[in-house]
Structure 1
């Protein structure tokens, strides 16, 4: 590494006792809204479920144990683009040849947490019943304004800018050629890595195709594509209020969500319930609260929402670029607005598309073994 390159430093997540005491006091002082009898999840977060979760958060949840488990991953921070960027960098184990590096990009509402279960499966497949030759060097950064990365003091970064940071990060780590993977916002970051750094990205794997952007003649679209456009529009009307808020007035919601841990949990848990395969019962209380507590302790709910505002300004010319890098998709059955194959063929150099029968929007966390096998199979020809 040259003297002018950024220098990574080891990082250990560690919450201050005072911050945890303040969290518990706020939880115990929650002022609860009323809810219609039998509303459940039909109007948003189930208040009865949230009451139970908050009670456990205040008096049963062991953050120290969860933090210790997360700290077993190799954490680092490095300064890129004027920001302190946190990432996990786990090297391959038991592979008798150079491992393929992968950069895994997360979405919202999560962080590196999304990939915490799958990292060992990717770095040491031989210890988990798979072929040691399929081992990867894994890099999982937190987007600026998410997790343990710095919050931008000025304008938020869009996914194009984040992709540029990840390309720089991989250079700092000595990886000139690598694979890119992601879902949700991370799908967009991975896409722009492939678009803007095609000489470095050997292949790109995504769990969704993003929202459709099209400037051609609608008559060119297949019936499946037109039906998907209609489905996306209907989903947006039914489920997209959060995204409209994030994209237009994120600071309004950020005030309440930064002040109230119960409110923060309601905002995040509703999406974990709606987007996962099997609903909120798919996660343990400890898993839910680890994700939410990361947001609370880092104060990143506002900065994470502002990323939507930045991405809303990306112009149509960028959104309609075709990915020429070999592309693969794992469209998990429980995910939202899954694109048809015809759309993926239109917008990427599609070489593989599968539809795993289990898993939702957080597939790497919900079904880590299945997700790991999807990545092994897709990247095998590109090693």
Structure 2
């Protein structure tokens, strides 16, 4: 399955241009597979408690088959600067969008699962070309190993540490010895790991998911009402919402067969999370534009990365360092429908130089897609505090 082209034969450290070119035959194959989908019977409840409902899934498949145009987002991404470079034996795909502002700072943004570089498309221009009184950034937005248009690891070992080290190499290869870093979901853990392993390279980090543990000294009486609600939601998610993570962390190859063979299966597997993880009004499309949801699903489908993306869970789930002190300046933005909303005191115990912390009134796990203006505002405010 051809997914893209680069213009030169790669060297060990060469950074070469990349362009996405999905063959028309692959687009036709997607439509044919969607037309031949064998659906299960309807759920026996009137909500999403058993998973994504049949009627909703059938309608999404129809839209994906009959109305959605992959070429629109393909052209949109191709209008940006895309590159491929080989790091530690693996091709890494990334967007590198530079600002015209002479005072722009380099900012590395890392996505997670079930995300991709699509997540950042609606915030790029706001960050690269802001009003004169706002900070500007040179953006580096990589596809994780095994995700999107990056290479698929052929052996084990691409864990959080290795990815963080690869990101440090990538930024150095682009001429950025000191840079800002941001991430949510797996991107949060990678950004934190980068700050831990390369503190001299990260000027300041920002995350929407502060992975920390409860400090031994903390007493429940010190919780605010909102923080009590957050912890209750966390317990509910752990009890009823983590099945996908357990499967991907233990048997990513097995789940990959169905998702790689069935576009309806890949769609349902991802869109269920856009329902559960967003600040929506009853359907994920009320939080994230439908075309962006399908853009993201299409990246997984056309690159056949269901299994390779899931392996990050196998490599890193339950092996995450959640206690090592983070000493680089840090900022945290807590969105009300995100997955890991923890008390500020817990966060400050680990992030020793916490310069920005705010609980927002709307938004969820996919903040760049759900509330791009709020997300950009948070980054702008956060990173102005780097010099304090």
2:343 is aligned to 340
1:92 touches 1:123 (CA, 8 Å); kept in 2?
Answer: yes
Q: Deviations over 1:254-304 (max 9, x none)?
A: 111111000000000000111011140222332111110100000111111
SS at match of 2:180: strand
Give the 5 Å matches for 1:184-333: 184-210=185-211, 212-213=212-213, 217=216, 219-223=217-221, 224=223, 231-278=233-280, 279-281=283-285, 282-312=287-317, 314=319, 318-333=321-336
> Hey, what's the Cα distance between the residues in 2 that align with 1:162 and 1:88?
17
1:350 is aligned to 354
> Hey, what's the Cα distance between the residues in 2 that align with 1:14 and 1:344?
43
> Hey, what's the Cα distance between the residues in 1 that align with 2:161 and 2:306?
21
TM-score computed with the length of structure 2 as normaliser: 0.90
2:82 is aligned to 75
Question: What's the offset of the Cα at 1:319?
Answer: 3.0
Which structure's residues are more often helix, by fraction? 1
Q: Which residue of 372, 379, 382 maps to 2:383? A: 379
> Hey, what's the Cα distance between the residues in 1 that align with 2:99 and 2:186?
26
1:177 touches 1:201 (CA, 8 Å); kept in 2?
Answer: yes
Q: CA RMSD in A?
A: 2.0
Q: Deviations over 1:160-208 (max 9, x none)?
A: 2111110000000000000110000000010011111111101110001
1:45 touches 1:270 (CA, 8 Å); kept in 2?
Answer: yes
> Hey, what's the Cα distance between the residues in 2 that align with 1:220 and 1:367?
33
1:119 is aligned to 124
1:139–1:46 Cα change, 3 Å: same
2:29 is aligned to 22
2:334 touches 2:341 (CA, 8 Å); kept in 1?
Answer: yes
Matched, 1:106 2:107: no
Question: What's the offset of the Cα at 1:38?
Answer: 4.9
SS at match of 2:22: coil
1:156 touches 1:303 (CA, 8 Å); kept in 2?
Answer: no
SS at match of 2:19: coil
SS at match of 1:354: strand
> Hey, what's the Cα distance between the residues in 2 that align with 1:382 and 1:336?
26
2:195 touches 2:202 (CA, 8 Å); kept in 1?
Answer: yes
Question: What's the offset of the Cα at 1:37?
Answer: 5.2
SS at match of 2:20: coil
Matched, 1:52 2:48: no
Aligned residues: 370
